[in-house]
Amino acid sequence: MRVALCQISATADPEANLALVREGVRQADGASVVLFPEATMSRFGVPLGPVAQPLDGPWPTAVRAIAGEHGVVVVAGMFTPDPDGRVRNTLLVTGRGQHLGYDKIHLFDAFGFAESRTVAPGDAPVTIEVDGITLGVATCYDVRFPELFRALADRGAKAVLLGASWGAGEGKLDQWELLVRARALDCTSWVLACGQADPGPVTGTAPLGIGHSLVADPRGRVVASLEGKPDVLVVDIDTELVDTTRAAIPVLENRRL
């Protein structure tokens, strides 16, 4: 399966970000799945309530049209309304007859940022099927919780699509790379991690991205990566490697807890 990771630097303008989605899909070079970061619809650090839309709203509908025009599945971070007045941090999955969302389960209440003040958590893992292959989805801070990745593997996922807007700071790049590789080892699956590009110097604690999107194989090896600037990374993942890895390192079967 060919997957494209579109590392963008989203703005606070959903229409401008829609143009970034359109251009990223255009550059996807024959991919079946085109993955964008968390908060593609709008960056963090601005009020999210005014930009949130339901999955049948104009922004996700436009993304669906882009996916349909190119015959791909697009995965991109957006925000949807929640009944309690907050929003949901939703990973939109659309194209090839699919149109659904994964609501981020683990909210980023860390490093001086409190996502839960404005965002309500999801409560259910989500998998999809593309070209006969089951894929899991996850968002940013989820990467610190191995149980989610194991749960996705238990549901048949051979790869996990991770969208992120990773916060900058001392040691954060090392943590990002280490966590992506560790989660690949935990669930013996591919992990394709697409982050917001590095916007340069910022003020405040909002996580706006550091770039360095990467792909880890089921044995935790980095097979492809980007630097900090906006870019597109296209990779072919071998799902048979998942089967051979799980036969050699059956950590999912050997679990006792």
How do strand 231-236 and strand 73-81 relate by DSSP bridges? Answer: unpaired
End-to-end CA distance of the chain: 33
Structure tokens at 12: 């606070």
Please name the helix (run of DSSP H) or strand (run of DSSP E) that holds residue 134, with its range, or none. strand 133-139
Closest residue by Cα to residue 196 from 49, 25, 42: 42
Active site residue 253: no
**Euclidean distance between CA atoms 204 and 228, whole angstroms:** 19
**Euclidean distance between CA atoms 111 and 256, whole angstroms:** 32
Active site residue 194: no
Locate all alpha helices (DSSP H) within the chain, ordered by sequence.
14-26, 58-70, 146-154, 172-187, 240-248, 251-254
Q: What residues form DSSP beta bridges with 120?
A: 88
Point out the catalytic residue in the list 104, 115, 158, 187: 104
Q: What residues form DSSP beta bridges with 103?
A: 90
Structure tokens at 140: 């940013």
Active site residue 104: yes
Point out the catalytic residue in the list 140, 158, 187, 194: 140
Point out the catalytic residue in the list 6, 15, 23, 38: 38
Q: Could you give the residue numbers annotated as active site?
A: 38, 104, 140
